[in-house]
Amino acid sequence: WWAYYELGWGGWWAWDPVENASFIPWLAATALLHSAIVVERREALKSWTVLLAILAFSASLLGTFLVRSGVLTSVHAFATDPARGTFILAILGVFIGGSLALYAWRARDLSGGGVFAPVSRESAILLNNVVLTVAAAAVLLATLYPLIYQALTDASLSVGPQVYNFFFPPIVSLGLVAIPIGVFLTWRRARLDLPVEHL
- Would you give per-residue pLDDT tens digits along the chain (199 residues)? 455 555 555 555 678 888 888 899 999 999 999 999 988 888 888 889 999 999 999 999 888 888 877 776 655 555 566 677 678 788 889 999 999 999 999 888 877 666 777 788 888 888 999 999 999 999 999 999 988 888 899 888 888 888 988 999 999 998 888 888 877 777 777 666 665 565 5
Total domain count for the chain? 1
Q: Is residue 9 part of a domain?
A: no
* Rounded distance between C-alpha atoms, residue 30 and residue 45, angstroms: 15
pTM for this entry: 0.82
Question: What pLDDT sits at residue 175?
Answer: 87
Question: What pLDDT sits at residue 59?
Answer: 94
Residues 54 and 92: beta-carbon distance below 8 Å: no
Q: Is residue 146 part of a domain?
A: yes
Question: What pLDDT sits at residue 1?
Answer: 47
Question: What pLDDT sits at residue 71?
Answer: 72
Q: Is residue 193 part of a domain?
A: yes
Q: How many CB atoms lie within 10 A of CB 131?
A: 21
Q: Is residue 7 part of a domain?
A: no
* Rounded distance between C-alpha atoms, residue 161 and residue 13, angstroms: 9
Q: Is residue 4 part of a domain?
A: no
The residue segments making up the domain with residue 193 are 15-198
Question: What pLDDT sits at residue 91?
Answer: 87
Q: Is residue 107 part of a domain?
A: yes
- The whole-angstrom distance between residue 190's C-alpha and the CA centroid of its chain comes to 28
Q: Is residue 89 part of a domain?
A: yes
Q: Is residue 122 part of a domain?
A: yes
Question: What pLDDT sits at residue 33?
Answer: 95
With a CB cutoff of 8 Å and minimum separation 6, the contacts of 191 are 119
Question: What pLDDT sits at residue 138?
Answer: 95
